[in-house]
Amino acid sequence: MPTFLARLEAARPLDRFAEALRRVAQATAGRGRLGDVLHGRPAGHPLHPAVVQFPVGAWMSTAVLDALPGRDTPGSRRAAAALLTAGTAGALPATLTGLADYVTLTPQQRRVALVHVTANVTALGFFAASIAARARGDHARGRRLSFAGLGLAGAGAYLGGHLAFAQGAGANHAATALPLVPSGWHRLDAVGAIAEGKLSSYTVGDVPVLVYREHDRFSALVGRCAHQGAPLAEGRTLDMDGDACVECPWHGSVFRLADGRALRGPAASDQTRLRTRVRAGHLEVAQP
Residue 221 near residue 274 (C-beta atoms within 8 A): yes
Task: Give the phi and the psi of residue 242 in degrees, each rounded to 5.
Answer: 85, 0
Closest-CA residue to 90 (of 60, 121, 56): 56
pLDDT in 10s for each residue of the chain, 288 residues? 678 899 999 999 999 999 999 999 998 876 778 888 888 888 888 899 999 999 999 999 999 999 999 999 999 999 999 999 999 999 999 999 999 999 989 999 999 999 999 999 999 999 999 999 999 999 999 999 999 999 999 999 999 999 998 998 888 888 878 888 889 999 999 999 999 999 999 999 889 999 999 988 999 999 999 988 899 999 999 999 899 999 999 989 999 999 999 998 888 889 999 999 999 999 999 998
User: What domains sit in the chain, N to C, each tagged with a CATH number?
Assistant: 3-166 (no CATH), 173-286 (2.102.10.10)
Q: What angle do CA 175, 251, 104 make, to 5 degrees?
A: 85
Nearest in space to 117 (alpha carbons), one of 72, 52, 177, 171: 52
H/E/C letters for each residue in 112-159? HHHHHHHHHHHHHHHHHHHHHHHHCCCHHHHHHHHHHHHHHHHHHHHH
Strand order in the sheet with 186-190: 186-190, 282-286, 273-279, 217-222, 207-214, 199-204
